Amino acid sequence: MTAAEIPAPPEVRLRDLSLEVSPVEVVGRLVTLERREVPRRTDGVARPLLVGLLTDGTATVRFSWWDPPRDGIERGEIVRAVGAEIREFRGRAELVFTWKTRVEPAGEAELPRVTPEELPRRLLRDLGGPAEGFRIEARVVRIVPKSVTVGEDQRVVYEGLLADRSGTAVVSAWSDFGLNAGEALRISGAYVRTFRGRPQLVLDERATVQRIEAGDLPLPAEVLRSPPRPIGDLEDGGGGEAIAVEGTVVHVLPPSGLVFRCPRCRRLVAGGLCRIHGEVEGVADLRARLVLDDGTGSVVVGADRGLTEKLWNVTLDEARRRLQDRPDPSVLEEALLEAVVGRRLLVRGSVSRDDFGLNLAPETIEPVEIDLDTAAGELAARLRGPGG
């Protein structure tokens, strides 16, 4: 069979990829890119490899591109790949661009036209980044405009929180969709990215937002005043948004109390040095890193200046005056420790996980009055056990 007689590979949408049909022709937008060097098995010589995610609005799939161009490939570009191979990776179809694959630039109009009704509905608890090609129905719990710097430009991003009956998700809208707290929405054309270990829903100019009847979507007050959850459950689930926990402060981690921050990036300054900007004149600040324990697990609560002043009943100015009298920051840290350890607190905010455990970025911290008689009875009952 001559080259002219070889049939052209079929063009398919990414959601229709199948191991039974390969090679194929696809068009998609490059969502993520990572360049690697992989040694060849035969001689150990490094071979360039580009891996990432490709989306066409119907699905997002992983791709591997062997021997790609050294430059000219950027995130967000649309490409057409003719002769892409399909293989299975961790139970899912993956695209492989080999020396036989022809990859060329494509335009927005070449992407498949997808109506919102064609996209599968996803629940917020099932969102995992990066992903695209779905629709959600959720209520706006809160939304706040925020000015950010992108390159040399100032832009406004609308940040907030969405909720359905399965859970919550942070949302960032880079276009003004006129979102208001309390609205029920059907959103399509958004995508998911991971930010600080948690999935975040991102809306840009490609997203579509429709107002809908609320159905069984939770009210903002339900989400923001939800009852406390056991910390042990959060350890299993990895965290979440708009979460409440209640526990006892068992420790204060250093550095807490009076600290100094870089005036440019707000990172902590040690010995007058910022690890990003070098020698700087630090700006005084208060913070408290509290270890909260509820008997099922523990979480580190990072309280900012306002919450620390409220808990400690010491202002930043007063802390600086104390440091002038005794120029030893550890004295202030010990005073903070004495003021907060043993107190029971109700904390609301977002919980994330890192290599050291759970971290809670608090929005509110409220002291909880302890009924000593009730607490003593509960402790005695636990000590007696089920048969006591």
Give the residue among 254, 249, 345, 257 at the shortest CA–CA distance from 308: 257
Say if residues 148 and 209 touch (Cβ distance below 8 Å).
Answer: no
Reported as a single tens digit per residue, the pLDDT across 290-324 is 999 999 999 999 999 999 999 999 999 999 888 88
CA distance 143 to 119: 25
**How does residue 261 score in pLDDT terms, banded at 50, 70 and 90?**
very high
Whether residue 288 lies inside any domain: the answer is yes
Give the residue carrying structure tokens 């840290």: 333
Whether residue 383 lies inside any domain: the answer is no
246 and 197 belong to one structural domain:
no
At which of 178, 198, 222 does a domain end?
222
208 and 340 belong to one structural domain:
no
50 and 38 belong to one structural domain:
yes
CA distance 92 to 282: 50
Reported as a single tens digit per residue, the pLDDT across 337-358 is 999 999 999 999 988 888 788 9
| Residues comprising the chain, all counted | 388
215 and 184 belong to one structural domain:
yes
99 and 49 belong to one structural domain:
yes
Its domain, for residue 358, covers 226-374
CA distance 288 to 291: 10
320 and 211 belong to one structural domain:
no
102 and 120 belong to one structural domain:
no
Q: Is 265 helix (H, G, I), strand (E, B) or coil?
A: coil
Whether residue 380 lies inside any domain: the answer is no
Lowest mean pLDDT among 104-108, 164-168, 352-356, 381-385: 381-385
CATH number at residue 216: 2.40.50.140
User: Going by C-beta distance under 8 Å and a sequence separation of 6 or more, which residues neighbour residue 185?
Assistant: 137, 138, 139, 140, 162, 179, 209, 210, 211, 212
Question: Regarding predicted confidence, which is higher, 307 or 208?
Answer: 307
232 and 312 belong to one structural domain:
yes
How many structural domains compose the chain? 3
Per-residue pLDDT, averaged over 212-223, amounts to 88
Neighbours of 275 (CB within 10 A): 11
Neighbours of 59 (CB within 10 A): 21
Question: Regarding predicted confidence, which is higher, 37 or 346?
Answer: 346
User: Going by C-beta distance under 8 Å and a sequence separation of 6 or more, which residues neighbour residue 253?
Assistant: 289, 290, 291, 300
CA distance 382 to 29: 57
Reported as a single tens digit per residue, the pLDDT across 114-126 is 777 777 888 988 8
At which of 222, 239, 265 does a domain end?
222
